[in-house]
C-alpha cells in the first residue's frame, strides 16, 4: 500500500505544469538624456555682480583666430596670488561646437594638434574625464556615435549638449532621448545664474579646463593654471573678468596633467599647450 501511495505521488508531480516564463524586457536602456530644445531654455535673468576681490594685473590681451573667434588672456590677483587664464571666446552662430573622440590610449598629450587638424577645428581644449580602462566617464556622443553610459553623480553634474546649437545643461534638466549629435558629461558646475557655485574644493591648485556661456550666443572654452575649483568659480563669475561677456553658466571639464589647449590664429599660426598624458576626448570649434 505504501509503495502504491509513493508511485501515485510521483505521477502527480510529473503531471504538474511548470510556471509560465516571466516576460522580460531585453531592450537596452536609453543612453542619452532628453534635453529641452533651444527655444525651451529660458533666457538668463539679470543677476547682481559678484564681488570676489579679484583685480586684473594687466590689460586683457586678445588675439584673432580663424573665423572671428579670439584667444583672450587674462591675469588676475587675489590676496597676493596671481592667476592666469586663457579663453577661446566664440559666437555659436558662427561656429559649431564638437566633441572630438580620441580612442588611442597610447597617443600622448601632444595628440591634441592632430585631432584638431583632422576635425578642421580652429581651437579647442581637452574634454571630460575617463576611466582607467580609457572609456569615457559618463556618456559621450561624437558625430552621433555613442560611447559610455549616462552617469548622474556628485562629479558629473552637467553636460555639454549640441543639437543644432550648443547648450550647457545641469543633470536635473535632462530627460531620456538620443537626438544630440555631440554630448559630453562633465563637472562639477562652477557658475550658475551668474553666481559661483558654493562649497567647491579650494585646496588643490592645478591646471583646469572649462566651458562657459552667457546664456545666449557667446561661449568660451578655457584653461586656467594653478587654481582651485572654488577660485575658478569666483573668477569666472566676477564682473569685469571678460569685457562684454558676463558668464551665466560654467562647467569644469578636466584638470591636472592632461589639461591642454589649441588655437589657430587668423594668420595661420598654431598655438599649442599640450598635456602631459593621453586623454580620451576634446572639445573643438569649427567655423560654419
Per residue in 233-267, pLDDT tens?
999 998 777 778 899 999 999 989 889 999 999 99
Rounded CA gap, 81 and 74, in Å? 14
Better-scored residue on pLDDT, 81 or 117: 117
Position 7 scores a pLDDT of 42
Strand partners, 86: 73, 223
Rounded CA gap, 132 and 137, in Å? 10
Q: Is the distance from CB of 169 to CB of 218 less than 8 angstroms?
A: no
Position 57 scores a pLDDT of 58
pLDDT category of residue 4 using cuts at 50, 70 and 90? very low
Is the pLDDT at 287 greater than 90? The verdict is: yes
Is the pLDDT at 153 greater than 90? The verdict is: no
Lowest mean pLDDT among 46-50, 116-120, 166-170, 256-260: 46-50
Averaged pLDDT, 113-130: 95
Strand partners, 158: 170, 186
Is the pLDDT at 33 greater than 90? The verdict is: no
Is the pLDDT at 12 greater than 50? The verdict is: no
DSSP per-residue codes, 112-180: HHHHHHHTT-SEEEE---B-TTS-BSS-EEETTEEES----SSS--EEEEEESEEEEEEGGG-EE----
Rounded CA gap, 133 and 122, in Å? 30
Rounded CA gap, 187 and 184, in Å? 10
State the pTM of this model: 0.81
Report CA dihedral (154, 260, 208, 45) to the nearest 10 degrees. Answer: -80
Q: Which cell numbers in the block locate residue 30?
A: 536609453
Position 54 scores a pLDDT of 59
CA 43 to mean position of chain CA atoms:
21
Is the pLDDT at 111 greater than 80? The verdict is: yes
Q: Which cell numbers in the block locate residue 14?
A: 510529473
Percent of the chain at pLDDT exceeding 70: 77
Q: Which helix (H) or strand (E) holds 3?
A: helix 2-15
Q: Which of 215, 252, 278, 260 is nearest to 121 (CA)?
A: 260
Q: Which of 130, 140, 69, 76 is nearest to 105 (CA)?
A: 130
pLDDT category of residue 118 using cuts at 50, 70 and 90? very high
Q: Which of 131, 82, 76 is nearest to 279 (CA)?
A: 131
Strand partners, 71: 63, 88
Q: Which cell numbers in the block locate residue 228?
A: 582651485
Is the pLDDT at 49 greater than 60? The verdict is: no
Is the pLDDT at 16 greater than 60? The verdict is: no
Rounded CA gap, 5 and 134, in Å? 65
Q: Which cell numbers in the block locate residue 28?
A: 537596452
Mean pLDDT of the chain: 82
Is the pLDDT at 84 greater than 80? The verdict is: yes
Amino acid at each position: 500500500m505504501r509503495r502504491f501511495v509513493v508511485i501515485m505521488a510521483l505521477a502527480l508531480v510529473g503531471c504538474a505544469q511548470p510556471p509560465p516564463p516571466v516576460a522580460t524586457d531585453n531592450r537596452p536602456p536609453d543612453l542619452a538624456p532628453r534635453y529641452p530644445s533651444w527655444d525651451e531654455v529660458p533666457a538668463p535673468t539679470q543677476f547682481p555682480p559678484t564681488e570676489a576681490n579679484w583685480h586684473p594685473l594687466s590689460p586683457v590681451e586678445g588675439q584673432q583666430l580663424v573665423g572671428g573667434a579670439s584667444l583672450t588672456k587674462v591675469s588676475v590677483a587675489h590676496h597676493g596670488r596671481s592667476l592666469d587664464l586663457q579663453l577661446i571666446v566664440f559666437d555659436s552662430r558662427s561656429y559649431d561646437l564638437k566633441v572630438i573622440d580620441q580612442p588611442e590610449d597610447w597617443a600622448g598629450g601632444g595628440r591634441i594638434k592632430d585631432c584638431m587638424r583632422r576635425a578642421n577645428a580652429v581651437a579647442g581644449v581637452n574634454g571630460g574625464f575617463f576611466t582607467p580602462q580609457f572609456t569615457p566617464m559618463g556618456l559621450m556622443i561624437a558625430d552621433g556615435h555613442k560611447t559610455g553610459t549616462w552617469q548622474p553623480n556628485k562629479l558629473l553634474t552637467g553636460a555639454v549638449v549640441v543639437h543644432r546649437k550648443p547648450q550647457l545643461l545641469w543633470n536635473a534638466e535632462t530627460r531620456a532621448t538620443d537626438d544630440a549629435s555631440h554630448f559630453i558629461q562633465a563637472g562639477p558646475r562652477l557658475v550658475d545664474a551668474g553666481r559661483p557655485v558654493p562649497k567647491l574644493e579650494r585646496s588643490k591648485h592645478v591646471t583646469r579646463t572649462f566651458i562657459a556661456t552667457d546664456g545666449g550666443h557667446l561661449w568660451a572654452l578655457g584653461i586656467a593654471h594653478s587654481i582651485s575649483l572654488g577660485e575658478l568659480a569666483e573668477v569666472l563669475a566676477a564682473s569685469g573678468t571678460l569685457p562684454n561677456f558676463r558668464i551665466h553658466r560654467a562647467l569644469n571639464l578636466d584638470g591636472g596633467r592632461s589639461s591642454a589647449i589649441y588655437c589657430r590664429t587668423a594668420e595661420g599660426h598654431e598655438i599649442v599647450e599640450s598635456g602631459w598624458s593621453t586623454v580620451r576626448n576634446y572639445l573643438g570649434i569649427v567655423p560654419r
